[in-house]
C-alpha cells in the first residue's frame, strides 16, 4: 500500500487534531469512560487517530495494522474507533481498551495510585 505522508505541523493536521480531541471527548462522555492518566498515551492515540482520518478518511485504530482489501484500506481487526472489541470485551473485562486511551474510572483510580507510588 502506498504511504501517504502527513505533516504533523501543518494547519490541516492541527485542525484535524482538534476535531479528534472533540470526538474522543464525546466518546468518553457518552460511554462513561475516562482518559488514561498518562497523558502521553492519550495524546499518542489521538494523534494516531487524526493521522488515520487524514490518510484514510476513517478513524482506524492506530494500534492495529491497516491492510488493503479489494483496493480499499481496512483495519485488520475491523478496529474503527470506538471499536467493538473495546466496548464489548476489553473495557468491561480489563478496564481499558487495547490502545489504553479509554478507561473505566475504577481503572484510572487504581492507575493513579500506582503512578504516585512510582514517583515517590
Binding footprint of ligand SF4 on the chain (CB under 6 A): 45, 61, 63, 79, 81-83, 86, 97-99, 101-102
C-alpha cell at 101: 486511551
Q: Which is nearer to ligand SF4, 42 or 118 (CB)?
A: 42
Q: How far is the CB of 85 from ligand SF4 (least distance, A)?
A: 7
d(CA 50, CA 57) in angstroms, rounded, equals 9
The contacts found for 39-44 with CB under 8 angstroms, 24 or more apart, are 41/99, 41/100, 41/101, 42/101
d(CA 7, CA 73) in angstroms, rounded, equals 20
Q: How far is the CB of 46 from ligand SF4 (least distance, A)?
A: 9
Q: Which is nearer to ligand SF4, 13 or 23 (CB)?
A: 23
Query: For 34, how many CA atoms within 13 A lie in the half-sphere containing its CB?
Result: 14
Q: Which is nearer to ligand SF4, 34 or 81 (CB)?
A: 81
Q: How far is the CB of 71 from ligand SF4 (least distance, A)?
A: 23
Amino acid at each position: 500500500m502506498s504511504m501517504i505522508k502527513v505533516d504533523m505541523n501543518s494547519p490541516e493536521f492541527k485542525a484535524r487534531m482538534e476535531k479528534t480531541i472533540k470526538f474522543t471527548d464525546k466518546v468518553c462522555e457518552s460511554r462513561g469512560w475516562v482518559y488514561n492518566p498518562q497523558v502521553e498515551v492519550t495524546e499518542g492515540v489521538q494523534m494516531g487517530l487524526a493521522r488515520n482520518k487524514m490518510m484514510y478518511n476513517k478513524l482506524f485504530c492506530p494500534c492495529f495494522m491497516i491492510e488493503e482489501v479489494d483496493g480499499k484500506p481496512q483495519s485488520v481487526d475491523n478496529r474503527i474507533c470506538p471499536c467493538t472489541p473495546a466496548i464489548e470485551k476489553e473495557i468491561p473485562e480489563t478496564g481499558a481498551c487495547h490502545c489504553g486511551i479509554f478507561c473505566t474510572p475504577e481503572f484510572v483510580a487504581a492507575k493513579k495510585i500506582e503512578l504516585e507510588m512510582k514517583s515517590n
